[in-house]
Structure 1
């Protein structure tokens, strides 16, 4: 089933879609963050690992989240966010 974020009646510049199948099922891949599907494993912390990034984005309120997500394309967002935060603190 395809997920069309335009049906949310929200500004697409302010929407992040997080899913284990985000890039397969979303019609707006520029809004998607794909994570490993959760399988009741104790060491599965991908969604929890995203929290610092999501909190930062919520506080920073970028004008277009798609540009932020594009800057992380092909990277592990939680790990890259930590690295960027460390560099910013220097």
Structure 2
């Protein structure tokens, strides 16, 4: 089993990505599970996760576990892409609204 407490890091700032994260980690609240890679040339699972990881690096949430809890039961990469699109639509609608008010 992986014990993230042995890393000597603040657990609120530790993210563990693995194909067997939930089965092999003692801190499942820090885990993102990806499908196991089986040498498929069309597997983009880790590449799809990059925008989410970049967001975390830029936003620097105070507790990664709270962010991950909001994705529980979802494919993190797909759900992040969906939420990003919704946020962009919301921003555009707000911007259009403010243009009409001028």
Q: Normalising by the residue count of structure 2, what TM-score does the alignment of the two structures yield?
A: 0.85
Q: How does 1:61-80 map onto structure 2 within 5 Å?
A: 61-80=60-79
Q: How does 1:3-82 map onto structure 2 within 5 Å?
A: 3-82=2-81
Point out where structure 2 has 5 or more consecutive residues left out of the alignment: 91-102
Greater helix proportion: 2
Q: Which has the larger radius of gyration?
A: 2
Structure 1 residue 44, shift from structure 2 partner: 1.0
Q: What secondary structure is seen at the aligned counterpart in 2 of 1:33?
A: strand
Count of residue pairs brought into register by the alignment? 89
Larger RCO (CA within 8 A; separation ≥ 6): 1
The Cα RMSD (Å) is 0.6
Structure 1 residue ranges (4+ consecutive) displaced by more than 4 angstroms after TM superposition = none
Point out where structure 1 has 5 or more consecutive residues left out of the alignment: none
